[in-house]
Amino acid sequence: MVTEVSPKKNELFSDDFKGSDEDVKRDITRAIKPNKSLDSLPRLKTKPKKILLITPPGTLEESYGRLSGAAGELPMLGLAYIAAALRDQGNTVKIIDYEVNRWPMAKVCKDIEGFAPDIVGMTAYITNMRRCAEVAKITKTTDPKISVILGGPSSIHFSRGGL
């Protein structure tokens, strides 16, 4: 059983929403409240995809500046969560963390050609936006049919125009 979300949910952030504060609270609660009877994600309704999740090449100094000495070299946990959910749905997923492995930007093209993904996804932070744009450019140069998806806290800055 899946909890239905009120049609007003799509209107929550529009300026012309006329609902009361209680309507907004109820709709948000329905949107984020987990359904405890679910033990896995629903199966895909489309053909499974090959998805490559990337942390773009860079150095800790580029990401953290003067605080790079305090930074750890751990893989992005968010990408691991996304990969697990995508695999549960039947997709083939590969994660490559160029930053932790200290691999150069030149390796991105070879990895994309080798894996031949349908989708390339990256997490965008203000500190890696240029590197994400470079990976997107390399991806589209390698194969224009590959979809590039940018997520993370800084992706909202490019929500209308894209990279």
Q: Where exactly are the structural domains of the chain?
A: 1-39, 50-158
Q: What is the pTM of this model?
A: 0.68
**Would you list the DSSP string of 40-71?**
SPPPPSS---EEEEEE-S--HHHHHGGGGGG-
- pLDDT recorded at residue 19: 66
Of residues 24 and 151, the one with the higher pLDDT is 151
User: What is the pLDDT of the chain when averaged over all its residues?
Assistant: 77
Looking at domain 50-158, does it have CATH number 3.40.50?
A: yes
Task: Classify residue 114 by burial, with Cβ atoms within 10 Å: 0-12, 13-18, 19+.
Answer: exposed
- pLDDT recorded at residue 12: 42
CA distance to 36, 83, 88, 117, per residue, from 40 (Å): 10, 14, 7, 24
Of residues 10 and 58, the one with the higher pLDDT is 58
Residue 141 has a CB neighbour count (10 Å cut-off) of 10
In the block, residue with structure tokens 């989708």: 119
